[in-house]
């Protein structure tokens, strides 16, 4: 909220592993969001819908261990807050209690506001998530930008306002038209964060794996690849395999050896004749 009032852009990063959290936190990332997308990157899920509560909990604990300063947010997974206010509060409470999370992120629409309000009333802040909500892909007709028509734009404004009325401290717009995010940023009393929703919001969210092209299957239009790690990883793994095949790795500098005396004693105890002969031959050459 302070950055919003000062007009300073808010940085929000979807992270799901310890090392990314350490680096991003050290660099001053404002919000570290444990995204259920991590279930696709780390565990091979085809969509976020099949990512389990326990998998998100595992990632949340890793982010907690790796961060000290940034706000720790958990993207509540599919069906973890949808059934009832009681279920929503219980599961959000588990993330706070077991993974030291500070805030939740709940994707949905005005119909989820009741359950989100219960989480807020329980004392856990929530960032609402509108626009493309991966948990509702069949309902939305696929991964397509939202808000291209006035009717759909109005629906998302209603969703966002319902979430703010429920107590959300922030709203994330995922792959909406820029106009929707801009309108919400100008009219809502809370920070609006853009994920593929243009540059007119109070801040920007990006998925950490998209920065490095670690999800090869699809590169969203809104993502910017800052460094392509795939060819680097392929090169390193290829060179490792080649060195192993050629017996170039591990080399002497990467290996621990016994002293000649201890090795000879060991070889004699084990009746390791080949090694005994090898040691004696080496001793003669250095004599």
The residues annotated as belonging to the active site are 174
State how far Cα 9 lies from the chain centre.
20
Spatial distance between the Cα atoms of 34 and 60, rounded to a whole number of angstroms: 6
Beta-bridge partner residues of 207:
14
Spatial distance between the Cα atoms of 117 and 94, rounded to a whole number of angstroms: 17
H helices within 45-127, ranges in order?
Answer: 53-66, 85-99, 113-121
Q: Contact, 62 vs 32, CB < 8 A?
A: no
- Sign of the alpha-carbon torsion through 265, 266, 269, 270: negative
- Tokens representing 174? 């995922």
């940023």: which residue's tokens? 185
CB atoms within 10 A of CB 109: 20
- Tokens representing 102? 């500070």
Strands (E), 175-218: 192-195, 203-207
Spatial distance between the Cα atoms of 33 and 76, rounded to a whole number of angstroms: 10
Give the H/E segment covering residue 274.
Answer: helix 273-286
Helix (H, G, I), strand (E, B) or coil at 246: coil
């809104």: which residue's tokens? 222
Spatial distance between the Cα atoms of 145 and 276, rounded to a whole number of angstroms: 73
Q: Contact, 255 vs 247, CB < 8 A?
A: no
């Amino acid at each position: 909220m302070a950055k919003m009032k000062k007009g300073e852009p808010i940085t929000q990063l979807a992270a799901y592993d310890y090392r990314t959290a350490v680096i991003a936190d050290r660099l001053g990332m404002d919000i570290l969001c444990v995204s259920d997308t991590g279930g696709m990157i780390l565990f091979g899920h085809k969509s976020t819908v099949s990512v389990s509560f326990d998998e998100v909990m595992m990632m949340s604990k890793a982010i907690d261990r790796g961060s000290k300063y940034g706000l720790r947010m958990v993207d509540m997974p599919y069906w973890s807050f949808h059934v009832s206010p009681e279920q929503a509060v219980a599961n959000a409470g588990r993330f706070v209690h077991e993974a030291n999370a500070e805030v939740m992120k709940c994707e949905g629409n005005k119909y989820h506001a009741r359950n989100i309000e219960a989480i807020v009333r329980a004392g856990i802040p929530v960032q609402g998530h509108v626009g493309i909500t991966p948990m509702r892909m069949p309902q939305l007709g696929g991964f397509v930008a939202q808000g291209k028509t006035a009717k759909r734009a109005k629906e998302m404004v209603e969703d966002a306002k319902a979430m703010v009325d429920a107590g959300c401290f922030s709203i994330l717009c995922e792959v909406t038209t820029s106009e929707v995010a801009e309108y919400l940023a100008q009219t809502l009393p809370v920070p609006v964060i853009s994920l593929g929703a243009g540059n007119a919001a109070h801040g920007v969210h990006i998925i950490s794996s998209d920065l490095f092209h670690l999800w090869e299957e699809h590169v969203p239009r809104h993502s910017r690849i800052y460094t392509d790690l795939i060819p680097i990883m392929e090169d390193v793994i290829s060179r490792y395999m080649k060195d192993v095949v050629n017996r170039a790795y591990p080399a002497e500098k990467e290996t621990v050896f016994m002293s000649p005396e201890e090795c000879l004693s060991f070889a004699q105890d084990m009746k390791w004749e080949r090694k005994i002969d090898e040691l004696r031959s080496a001793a003669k050459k250095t004599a």
